[in-house]
Structure 1
Amino acid sequence: MVLCFPQPSLSKSQILVILCCVCPQCDSLLCVSVGEAVLSACEKACSLIDMRAHSGGHPCLGAVDLIPLYPLGEDVLPQDCASEARAVAEGLTERVQGTSVFLFGWADLPLQRGLAQRRKDMSWFQKNPDLTQIRPDLGPAPGRQYGLTGVGSSPYVMNCNVTIDSQDMVLGRGIASAIRESTDGGIPGVQVLALPHEGAVEIACNVESLKGDPPSLEWPVFDIGGQSYCHAPASVITRRVSELAAVKGAGTKGTAIVGFTPRECRGLAELALSQDIGEFWREQRRVRM
């Protein structure tokens, strides 16, 4: 993920990305432009990862599968992130020949379709999609070596995974369906898959932020450019999964927030910048992306 964060000494158009590295000359935190940082990482990934030799249980289409840009400060506006995301998408297809990109969120103009919808459009959820039938927004038809990369921007998306103490994928898919946003009675903003995970079933949730007031005080709120947003908390997701699993006689083994909550992410970014802490993620004990 890319975190767009304004620096007090810079204009809001000078968006920076906080890199998890230390300058070898001065031992301080390095901040470079979003585009250059991301493209450098993509070039390295594409030199190391060949999708023709890839295998794994989690759906993916690209050596670099997803590049989401999120605003963390009130002064970073949706159009700032959208512009940066589109520049990254164009830069990737230019600097790594043979890569292909689809756009989502604020970067997907003029429709601004969400990530879940765009992934459906691109056959991302299919196990063995026919790449020749996929029409990317940038670059050639996806090839087998690099596959297809999603690039876009949106309000922060939290990843919350709840593991149920069962190997029953039918049970897992039923729970995933019940809490999915598109289901009547589902949790707003939650996109979810059930995946096998270390001898159990993981209910893997992308928790999207929503415009407007929260449905309850338990839901965290934040602001982007004067617009209020909220998101379902991990406690609500865990409680619902636990209740649904218990009906079938199963328990849960735990919840992992992969990455950060929006509030936590901003707080840690501010702390790392203020104290010149490089590789800050190494100091965290919870699961991080």
Structure 2
Amino acid sequence: FKSAEKAADLIDLEKHKGEHPRMGATDVIPFIPISGVDMKDCVKLAQELGRRLGEELGIPVYLYEEAATRPERKNLADVRRGQYEELKTAIKDPERKPDFGPMKMPRAGATAVGARPPLIAYNINLDTGDIKIANKIARLIRGSGGGFKSVKALGVMIEGRNLAQVTINMCNYKEAPLHRVFELVKIEAARYGVNVVGSEIVGLVPMDALLDTADFYLRLEGFKKEQVLESRI
């Protein structure tokens, strides 16, 4: 709550431009069950925080994923549709009415608050400055394009490096593991005569996701998580 309050004080979306879709200074707040809590607990937390942001800060709040109040708001991309610029007008439409807060857009924008499984933010860099290639690959691998159901992706440019990037949100790494996504991007890039020059994980990642990747590439036999040194300390 305090972070969102400070962001609302400091960030003016009227003056903000960027590559990544966004609709608010505090764009999205997910609650993720790790240990000692379940998804129902996280949904309750999302509802409580959403109500406070709306009532105390006057920020329009949309509940998404497991906390969504409507099926069409489960997908964050649908909630964020049009971004800040279009939502300023669309928010007056009853169909886009926020779950909490006013039906008008402050300069700090709106916030999506939800509950979901762990998400992996994963970017794959290509040795091309052609963003059209990155967008074509992104379209093929994401669920809305007939690819991995739990994958969202788009093409962006990396400023200062003249590299196109496929930026990916992996919403369920058990359904679509890191290595499967990486290999598919490699295959599709090769069709355009392009190579993968690197990849990056943004933020935190579940250990199991990395162990699955190591298992795939190293062809480990009978390996268990308990064999990881840090897990025994």
Alignment TM-score, normalising by the size of structure 2: 0.79
> How far apart in 2 are the matches of 1:130 and 1:90?
20
Residues 180 and 231 (structure 1), Cα distance of their counterparts in 2 relative to 1, 3 Å cut: same
Which residue in the other structure is 1:197 paired with? 158
Stretches of 4+ aligned residues off by more than 6 angstroms: none
Matched, 1:255 2:199: yes
> How far apart in 1 are the matches of 2:73 and 2:165?
27
2:11 pairs with one of 28, 42, 49: 49
Alpha-carbon contact 2:8-2:26 (below 8 Å) kept: yes
For this pair of structures, how many residues does the alignment match?
204
* Amino acid paired to 1:94: E
Which residue in the other structure is 1:149 paired with? 111
> How far apart in 2 are the matches of 1:261 and 1:233?
12
> How far apart in 1 are the matches of 2:145 and 2:7?
36
Alpha-carbon contact 1:176-1:192 (below 8 Å) kept: yes
Q: For residue 165 of structure 1, report the CA deviation from its aligned partner.
A: 1.2
> How far apart in 2 are the matches of 1:121 and 1:67?
13
Which residue in the other structure is 1:207 paired with? 170
Unaligned 5+ segments in structure 1 are 1-38, 210-219, 221-229, 268-274, 276-289
Q: For residue 110 of structure 1, report the CA deviation from its aligned partner.
A: 6.0
SS of equivalent residue, structure 2 residue 153: strand
Alpha-carbon contact 2:131-2:165 (below 8 Å) kept: no
Residues 183 and 107 (structure 1), Cα distance of their counterparts in 2 relative to 1, 3 Å cut: same
Which residue in the other structure is 1:243 paired with? 187
Structure with greater helix percent: 2
* Amino acid paired to 2:48: A
* Amino acid paired to 2:47: R
Q: For residue 93 of structure 1, report the CA deviation from its aligned partner.
A: 1.5
Q: For residue 166 of structure 1, report the CA deviation from its aligned partner.
A: 1.0
SS of equivalent residue, structure 1 residue 79: helix
> How far apart in 2 are the matches of 1:161 and 1:89?
29
Alpha-carbon contact 2:65-2:74 (below 8 Å) kept: yes
Residues 1-289 of structure 1 correspond to what in structure 2 (within 5 A)? 39-73=1-35, 75-97=36-58, 99-109=59-69, 111=71, 113-116=73-76, 119-124=77-82, 128-134=85-91, 135-184=97-146, 186-198=147-159, 199-209=162-172, 230-263=174-207
* Amino acid paired to 1:177: R
CA-to-aligned-CA distance 1:213-250 (integer Å, 9 cap, x gap): xxxxxxx6xxxxxxxxx242222222111111111111
Alpha-carbon contact 2:62-2:79 (below 8 Å) kept: no
> How far apart in 2 are the matches of 1:171 and 1:202?
9
> How far apart in 2 are the matches of 1:142 and 1:253?
44
Q: For residue 133 of structure 1, report the CA deviation from its aligned partner.
A: 1.5
CA-to-aligned-CA distance 1:133-188 (integer Å, 9 cap, x gap): 2222211124241111100001111111111111112211110111112333x123
> How far apart in 2 are the matches of 1:170 and 1:45?
33
Alignment TM-score, normalising by the size of structure 1: 0.65
> How far apart in 2 are the matches of 1:88 and 1:255?
34
